[in-house]
Amino acid sequence: MAYESSIPFADIRDFREAEINGISALFTMCRLDSETLPADFHSCEVMGGRGSDFQWLVPLALANFSGTFVSRQPLLREGQAYAEIRRYGIYDATTVDEWSENDNANS
């Protein structure tokens, strides 16, 4: 499911290298249309709360949307509706290709 304002994965140009709960990822402030992700990618939206912009990872943030994380690893376990964001880092701007090369080299 995507919002009308969701952007196709291939059209997003503002990715940043990131890490979320120990998982290497990409981050964008855009709302991503998850149906346009390549087959080996996963995404979760960030929902803010309790005075923090980064409180929960959810499949679709219905309120307090703060951005989207994209990774090659699932960010939620099967059947999990949300996960608390315990630690994260957002770093330098990157492209999907650059991040993929670095992510593969670090695997």
Distance CA 93, CA 95 (A): 7
Q: Is the pLDDT of residue 104 over 90?
A: no
Residue 99 has φ and ψ, to the nearest 5°, of: -65, -45
- What's the pLDDT band for 102 if we cut at 50, 70, 90? confident
Provide the residue ranges of all domains of the chain, joining segments of one domain with +: 14-106
Residue type, 42: H
Q: pTM of the prediction?
A: 0.90
Q: Is the pLDDT of residue 107 over 90?
A: no
Rg (CA), the chain: 13
Other Cβ atoms less than 10 A from the Cβ of 52: the count is: 12
SS3 106: helix
Question: Using CB atoms within 10 A of its CB, is residue 47 exposed (0-12), middle (13-18) or buried (19+)?
Answer: buried
For residue range 41-93, list pLDDT tens digits in order. Answer: 999 999 998 777 889 999 999 889 999 999 999 999 999 999 999 999 999 99
